Amino acid sequence: MTDTKGQHPPRLSILGAHVIDPASRFDQVADLHLADGRVLAIGQKPADFQPEELIDASGLLAIPGLVDLCARLRQPGLEQKATIRSETRAAASAGITTLCCPPDTLPVVDTPAVAQLIRQTAEQHGFARVLPAGSLTQDLAGEQISEMAALARAGCPVLSHADRPIRSARVQRRALEYAATFDLTCFLHPANASLSEGGLVHEGRISTRLGLPGIPAAAETVAVARDLALAEQTGARIHFRGLSTARATEMLAEARARGVQVTADVSAHQLFLTEDDIGTFDANALVLPPLRTEADRQALRAAVASGVISAICSDHQPHEADAKLDTFPQAAPGISALETLLPLTLRLADEGLLPMTSALACVTCHAADILGLPHGRLQPGAPADLCLLAPNEHWTLTAERMHSQGKNTPFLGQSMHGAVRLTLLGGQPAFDAAGP
- CATH number of the domain at 33, please: 2.30.40.10
Q: How confident is the model at residue 6 (pLDDT cuts 50, 70, 90)?
A: low
The closest of 141, 170, 136 to 238, measured between CA atoms, is: 136
Calculate mean pLDDT across residues 324-347: 96
Average pLDDT over residues 36-49: 95
Residue 394 is assigned to a structural domain of this protein: yes
> Do 51 and 91 fall within a single domain?
no
Distance CA 379, CA 359 (A): 18
Would 7 be classed as within a structural domain? no
394, 372: one domain: no
pLDDT of residue 1: 40
Count CA within 13 A, CB hemisphere, residue 319. 18
- Measured CA to CA, the distance from residue 390 to residue 58 in angstroms comes to 10
Whole-number mean pLDDT of the chain?
Answer: 96
Are 74 and 49 part of one and the same domain?
A: no
Same domain for 275 and 139: yes
SS3 202: strand
> Do residues 378 and 62 make contact, with C-beta atoms less than 8 angstroms apart?
yes
CB 23 within 8 A of CB 310: no
CA-CA distance, 206 to 96, in Å (whole number)? 35
Looking at the domain assignment, is residue 3 inside a domain? Answer: no
Q: 135 and 246: one domain?
A: yes
Asked whether the beta carbons of 249 and 308 are under 8 A apart, the reply is yes
- The verdict on residue 190 lying in a domain is yes
Strand order in the sheet with 158-160: 134-135, 158-160, 185-188, 238-240, 262-267, 311-313
**Residues 36, 124 within the same domain:** no
- Phi, psi dihedral angles at 391 (to 5 degrees): -70, -25
What is the pLDDT at residue 116?
Answer: 98
Residues 99/140, Cβ–Cβ less than 8 Å: no
Q: Looking at residue 71, which CATH number applies to its domain?
A: 3.20.20.140
- 277 and 266 in one domain? yes
Residue ending a domain, among 328, 360, 376, is 376
Q: Are residues 216 and 248 in the same domain?
A: yes
The arithmetic mean of pLDDT across residues 143-158, rounded, is 97
Distance CA 27, CA 65 (A): 16
SS3 content of the chain, % helix, strand, coil (to 5): 35, 25, 45
Buried b (16+ CB within 10 A) or exposed e, 47-78: eeeebeeebebeebbbbbbbbbbbbbbbbbeb
Average pLDDT over residues 119-147: 97
Domain hosting residue 39, numbered range: 12-63+384-432
Whole-angstrom distance, CA of residue 72 vs CA of residue 154? 19
- Say yes or no: 184 and 297 in one domain: yes
Residue 5 lies in a domain: no
Q: Which amino acid is at 347?
A: R
Residue 1 resides in a domain: no
Residues tagged active-site: 315
Beta bridge partners, 394, equal 417
Average pLDDT over residues 338-365: 98
Question: Residue 4: pLDDT above 50?
Answer: no
My answer on whether 100 and 22 are in the same domain is no
Final residue of a domain: which of 376, 397, 412? 376
- pTM of this structure: 0.96
Q: Same domain for 42 and 153?
A: no
Q: With respect to residue 121, please indicate whether it lies within any of the assigned structural domains.
A: yes
Q: Is residue 6 part of a domain?
A: no
> Into how many domains does the chain fold?
2
3-state secondary structure of 98: strand
Are residue 220 and residue 365 in the same domain, yes or no? yes
Q: Are strands 12-21 and 53-56 parallel, antiparallel or unpaired?
A: parallel
Alpha helices in 126-192 (DSSP H): 148-153, 169-181
pLDDT > 90 fraction of the chain, expressed in percent and rounded: 97
Cis peptide, bond prior to residue 410, ω within 30 of zero = no
